[in-house]
Each structure stands twice: as structure tokens, then as C-alpha cells.
Amino acid sequence: MATSGEAPESWYLALLGFAEHFRTSSPPKIRLCVHCLQAVFQFKPPQRVEARTHLQLGSVLYHHTKNTELARSHLEKAIPQFEDVKFEAASLLSELYCQQILVDSAKPLLRKAIQISQQTPYWHCRLLFQLAQLHTLEKDLVSACDLLGVGAEYARVVGSEYTRALFLLSKGMLLLMERKLGEVHPLLTLCGTIVENWQGNPIQKESLRVFFLVLQVTHYLDAGQVKSVKPCLKQLQQCIQTISTLHDDEILPSNPADLFHWLPKEHMCVLVYLVTVMHSMQAGYLEKAQKYTDKALMQLEKLKMLDSSPILSTFQVILLEHIIMCRLVTGHKATALQEISQVCQLCAQSPRLFTNHASQLHTMLGLYCISVNCMDNAEAQFTAALRLTTHQELWAFIVTNLASVYIREGNRHQELYSLLERINPDHNFPVSSHCLRAAAFYIRGLLSFFQGRYNEAKRFLRETLKMSNAEDLNRLTACSLVLLGHIFYVLGNHRESNNMVVPAMQLASKIPDMSVQLWSSALLKDLNKACGNTIDAHEAAQMHQNFSQQLLQDHIAACSLPEHNLISWTDGPPPVGQFQAQNGPTTSLASLL
């Protein structure tokens, strides 16, 4: 016989068991789960049981229903209660507040919970991470860095070097976002030492190394140092291979402050594919970029079936942004346009994703407009993109492309000179990116060429070549070589012109860069004709004809798509499902032939 003291325990466990059974059914029976938990209150349970039930009800309602008001009411009742309940309730409730755009209610709630949780290492660290993330989402990176610094020191005091490294690496990531490079270097050096010296769960150790190496690789890529990054990138790829062979041992760490993971193993794999794609695109290995994008997108599709984590959509958008740029270079404009439309759809589903990627979306549309010779639309897209970004590297990339539009239009001198002043590679260049500075020299060379100032153009293009050779920037190298070849041809120096155009053609076909191949083959045809090499001239003419045909067909296919109407969208949320099919291309093909 159960005594009266034991009775509540057995009914409570029975109701809890039923509730959990309904919650984990397939599909979940949430209404029945909620009924079981609500029934607990009929028995006038002890305070601790009542508090935990409020927390469980709040959690189930928050995660599985749209009834946020009722979830909020239960969580608020759980807050003043016992320690093990109040921290979890505060964490969930602040998430709910953020969802309801009540950030100013979430912050004091988290601060209070942080203040009183110092004796509970797991919750103290988790709440610090949560408040730092909230500040990051609000773009208050200074407050976020301060909190991560507090977390790192607390983790050191409670003897968790693993979580100390997580706090420091997170802080390093934010410092990179803020461009505080002077603070990043010593911090990454310290992190490297902590990670190497930490002896613990192999998967946790390797995941720290992945985090550390991802920061290093993105730091190099941000600086446009495509060649210098290779050793780090190789280490990162080896590291992810090691992780994929390790089994997830469910051995719980002895220190509760160690109960954190940076990212699930599958997410890390996608992230490593992503930085590999970024590297391949910058270096001009576009077939390799395509291969890794395909792998990453397949993995993402599988993950998204089971996992609604917003980071997966972010990974997908960044991958698409890179592959769209590759397609425009390789002469697949129609496919690029359909992928731009895909980015629009992803951004339409998430306001935060759109806020973070609106500028990139207009930039891609601007690049597409250049490729189909819609220069007015390209200008409007780049202007919209500039309005929407505060990111310095992206700003410099957009300005460089807008300058190329003004050069092609040939009648925008005032606007062009005003832009070139702001990206002067010889004086106070606004960003530290090696790649963007090399591109700025190229744009100067292009302008000087169009103005007939050939010696000046050669000086700028030799600077571009020097910089692009130093860091293996293949596309810039190919573009500079063919433009130098064109200058020597105009000057009548056919031998020197040939010395430039032949390697340009070889490099362009290796990338492959369709417009440089078109340009090079036209130049080779004229060069060989001028030198009396009839057979070579005929061969080059045939190549030029083939490239022209391919580009022309792709051009017509792209402009015939209903998505082509996206080029006139410059304001507001991304248009989805508003495309009207057109009766054919509306753009001039003159620039292609």
C-alpha cells in the first residue's frame, strides 16, 4: 500500500509519463499532452512540482503551438520559483519575448537571471551566451563582446577551459565582424594555445579546432588573401574529415560548465563546404566551386527535412550568392537568374534573413544586369545595394562594379570620378582586402584604356597583375592580361600583344570565364589576321563564333524568363510570385558580339 505521502508522487509520475508519451508520439498529440500537464494542478501539488509543471506547459506550448500568450503566462508563473526551474523559465521566456519583438523585456530578465545564477555554472554560461546573442542580433557588438569576455573569465574560474575557448572564439568572431583586427590577432593566438592544450572529449576538441580554423580562413578571405589561406583551409578540411570518423560518445562531461556544443557535426560539414566554395570563387576555380556547392546544397536539403534551424537557411543563401556569381562568369545567366529568384523566396520567408542579405541580393541583380547589358537597371540595383549596406568590403565591391557600369556608359564622368576618389588604390584605400585593391587598380586601367591614355593604363594593369599573381587571383589575372594585350594591339606591338592574350585565353578556359574567352578569341583573330597567320586567324574566328553563339542563346533564354522582371525591383521586400512572362528579350545584344 502506498502511504499518503507517496501518493502525489505516483499520480504525478503517471500524468508526467502520459504527457511525455503524447508529446513524443508520431505525430505528437500536443493537445492530450497539455491536458495531462494541466491535470497536475487539480491535485494541489507541492510548490516545486507546480513550478516545474508551469515550466513544462510553457515549453510545450511555446515549441509546439501558436498559443504564445498562454505559454508566456505559464513561464511567468515559473520564474519566481526554485533555482532549477527559474533559470530555464527565464531562458525560454526571453526567447518568447524576442519572438514577440519585446527585446526590452527580454534583456532585464536575462540580466537578473545571470546575476543570481553564479552558483550554477551551466545556466550562468548558457544565459551569458543567450544575452550576448541577443545583443549581436541588435548589432550591439560592443555589449556582446563584453558579455563573452565575462563568460570566458567565469569559465576559467570554474575550471572549464573548453567553454572558456568557446566564449573567446565567439568574441573573436564578433571582433572580426567589427574589423577590430588589432584585438583579433592576440585573441586568436590565445585560443590556439587553449585548444591545443585542452585534453578532453575528441569530438569537442576537434569542433573547437574547426571553429578556430573557420575564423582564420574567413579572416584571410575577407582580406582577399587567396593564396596565403591555403594551409589553414587544408587543416580545416582535414579536421572535418577527422570529426566525421569520430563517434558521438554520450559521455557527459564531469564539469557542468562543459555541457555546450558549438555546432552539430552535420552543420560543421556544410560550413566547411561553404568556406571552400568562398575560396574557390575568389581564386577563380569555378568548377571546383560548383562541385562543392552541389555537395553542400544536397546536404542542406537532407538536413532541412529534419531540422528547422535558421542557420541552415543562412548557409543556403550564402552558397547561392557565391554560385550565382560563378554562373554569371561561366556564361549561365538563365540558371543564375533562377537561383536569384530562389534567394528571394528564402528571404521572403525570413525578415531577419532579408535584412542581412538585401544588399547582396541587389548586388547580384546588378551583376546579372551587367551580364545582359541592362546598364540603367544595373545602376539602380547597385545604388539600392549601397543604400542597404554598412559592410565595408561589400560596399567597396559594389562601388567597383558601379564604376565599371559608368565606364561602359561613357557619359557619367562626374559620378564616375566621385566614385573613383572613394576607392583610390594608391591613396587611403577604404578596406584591407588585397583582392578589392587589385580590382580597383584594374578599374583605373580600364578607364585609362577607354580614354586612350595607354601608358597610364599599363601602369595600373601591371599593379593589378603583380597583386593578383601574388595571391592567385585567376580572374583578375586573366582580365588584366587580355586588356594589356588589347592595349599592345592598339599600339601596334603585335608580339607583346600575343604574349598577353595567349596566357589570358589559357587561364580563361581553365576558370572558365566566358566573357574573357570571347574577348581573347576576338583579339587573337585580329592579331593573327594582322600578322598574316590565316589558319590561326580562322581558328580564332571559329572559337569566337562558338562563344558568341553560346552567350547569345543563354542571353535570350535569361531575358525570356519571367524572373527577368526582377531587374526592376529596387525597393521593399523581395517580390515572390509576381513575375509576368515576357514576349522575349528586351535588351541590346550589341555588347556581346
Q: Which of 79, 482, 144, 468 is nearest to 283 (CA)?
A: 468
Domain residue ranges of the chain, discontinuous segments joined by +: 12-104, 118-246+258-262
Collapsing DSSP to helix, strand or coil, 315 comes out as: helix
Cβ proximity of 187 and 175 under 8 Å? yes
Cell of 345: 523566396
Cell of 48: 516545486
Query: Which residue is listed with cell 499520480?
Result: 11
Q: Identify the pLDDT of residue 586.
A: 40
Q: Which of 219, 95, 570 is nearest to 379 (CA)?
A: 570
Q: Identify the pLDDT of residue 309.
A: 83
Q: Identify the pLDDT of residue 511.
A: 92
- Residue 574 to residue 500: CA distance in whole angstroms: 43
Q: Identify the pLDDT of residue 577.
A: 66
- Residue 409 to residue 191: CA distance in whole angstroms: 50
Cis peptide before 80 (omega within 30 of 0): no
- HEC string of 461-472 equals HHHHHHHHHHCC
Whole-Å CA distances, 46 to 51, 82, 115, 258? 9, 12, 27, 32
- Residue 171 to residue 211: CA distance in whole angstroms: 12
pLDDT truncated to tens, each residue of the chain (593 aa)?
Answer: 333 344 446 766 676 676 776 677 778 777 877 777 777 777 677 777 777 777 777 777 777 777 777 777 777 776 766 666 788 888 878 887 777 777 788 888 899 889 888 888 999 999 999 999 999 988 899 999 999 999 999 999 999 999 999 999 999 999 988 888 788 889 989 999 999 998 888 888 999 999 999 999 998 888 888 999 999 999 999 999 998 888 766 556 677 777 887 888 889 999 999 999 999 999 999 999 999 999 999 999 999 888 878 889 999 999 999 999 999 999 999 999 999 999 999 999 988 899 999 999 999 999 999 999 999 999 999 999 999 998 889 999 999 999 999 999 888 889 999 999 999 998 888 888 899 999 999 999 999 999 999 999 999 999 999 999 999 999 999 999 999 999 999 999 999 999 999 999 999 999 999 999 999 999 999 999 988 889 999 999 999 999 999 999 999 999 999 999 999 999 999 887 655 444 343 443 333 33
CB atoms within 10 A of CB 319: 24
Task: Please report which helix (H) or strand (E) contains residue 451, including its range.
Answer: none
- Residue 500 to residue 520: CA distance in whole angstroms: 10
pTM equals 0.84
179 Cβ contact list (under 8 Å, min separation 6)? 392
Same fold: 12-104 with 118-246+258-262: yes
Would you give the DSSP letter of residue 561? S
Cell of 58: 510553457
Would residue 452 be called left, alpha or beta, if left means φ above 0 and alpha means ψ between -120 and 50 degrees? left
For residues 209, 214, 215 and 217, what is the CA-based torsion angle, rounded to 10 degrees? Answer: 120
Task: Please report which helix (H) or strand (E) contains residue 566, including its range.
Answer: none
Helix, strand, coil fractions of the chain, as percent rounded to 5? 80, 0, 20
- Residue 234 to residue 589: CA distance in whole angstroms: 43
Please tell me the number of Cα atoms within 13 Å of 136 on its side-chain side. 20
Domain spanning 12-104: which CATH class is it, in words? mainly alpha
Q: Which of 475, 421, 468, 466 is nearest to 444 (CA)?
A: 421
CB < 8 Å & 24+ apart, contacts of 131-136 = 131/107, 132/170, 134/94, 134/98, 134/103, 134/106, 134/107, 134/110, 136/174
CB atoms within 10 A of CB 410: 9
* CATH architecture of the domain formed by 118-246+258-262: Alpha Horseshoe (1.25)
Read out DSSP for 368-429? HHHHTT-HHHHHHHHHHHHHT---HHHHHHHHHHHHHHHHHH---HHHHHHHHHHT-TTS--
Q: What are phi and psi of 267, to 5 degrees?
A: -65, -40
Q: Which of 123, 100, 104, 103 is nearest to 113 (CA)?
A: 123
Would you give the DSSP letter of residue 452? T
- Residue 541 to residue 520: CA distance in whole angstroms: 11
Would you give the DSSP letter of residue 254? S
Q: Identify the pLDDT of residue 515.
A: 92
Cβ proximity of 394 and 363 under 8 Å? yes
Task: Please report which helix (H) or strand (E) contains residue 559, including its range.
Answer: helix 534-560
Q: Identify the pLDDT of residue 81.
A: 61
Cβ proximity of 215 and 169 under 8 Å? yes
Cell of 479: 582580365
Cell of 66: 501558436
Please tell me the number of Cα atoms within 13 Å of 78 on its side-chain side. 30
Cβ proximity of 110 and 123 under 8 Å? no
Please tell me the number of Cα atoms within 13 Å of 112 on its side-chain side. 16
- Residue 482 to residue 504: CA distance in whole angstroms: 6
Q: Which of 20, 40, 39, 42 is nearest to 30 (CA)?
A: 20
Q: Which of 334, 237, 337 is nearest to 288 (CA)?
A: 237
- Is the C-alpha dihedral spanning 367, 370, 371, 377 positive or negative? positive
Task: Please report which helix (H) or strand (E) contains residue 331, including its range.
Answer: none
- Residue 328 to residue 338: CA distance in whole angstroms: 12
Q: Burial code of 169-184, b = ≥16 C-beta within 10 A, e = fewer?
A: bbbbbbbbbeebeeeb
Please tell me the number of Cα atoms within 13 Å of 543 on its side-chain side. 21
